[in-house]
Amino acid sequence: MALLDLLKAAGLFHGLTDEQLQRLIAISQEEVYDEGQVIFRQNAEGDKLYFIGEGQVEIRIRKRPDAPERSQVFLGRGQIFGEMALLDLGKRSATVQCSRDRTVLHSISREAFTALCNSDTAIGYVIMRNLAMDLSFKLRHRNLDLGADSQ
């Protein structure tokens, strides 16, 4: 499956035209990782969004400085991580480690993304709307899960 088709299937890019998706592809950088390599660590500066073209990554979280990292989820082809880096200048909320050899990631830096959005505000609007909907969904479900814990 071509990168364009993978982007079309990703919820973050839902509503963008093929031409707009091609503009995103044009500003992306391909990065290849092997099993065990860390892509970024929790609390590091966030400066890129990543899209998985091939392979798999593991999302790991340390809840307290003295606690061990715990695996939260595995992500594979067509999935996105690091998207909060497009929203703020905050620290990474998790460590992401490659879990398969020859994992191909496509990264988009905040700087390149901001420049693209300034030149085509429709792209920025659609992606930010999709990010807001995704974060709203996650927050709503987290709050529902927390409510279930207190019963």
Q: Which residue from 20, 23, 87, 98 is spatially nearest to 53, judged by alpha carbons?
A: 98
Tokens of 9: 């299937």
Q: What is the pLDDT of residue 88?
A: 82
Number of domains in the chain: 1
User: Phi and psi at residue 84, in whole multiples of 5°?
Assistant: -65, -25
Q: What is the pLDDT of residue 149?
A: 53
Q: What is the pLDDT of residue 148?
A: 56
CATH number at residue 90: 2.60.120.10
Q: What is the pLDDT of residue 140?
A: 80
Residue 24's domain spans which residues? 3-149
**Mean pLDDT, 10 residues at a time, the chain of 151 residues:** 87 94 96 97 93 95 87 91 84 94 95 94 93 84 60 52
Q: What is the pLDDT of residue 69?
A: 86
Q: What DSSP assignment string belongs to 65-97?
A: TTSPPEEEEEEETT-EE-GGGGT-SPBPSSEEE
| 97 neighbors 38 (Cβ within 8 angstroms) | yes
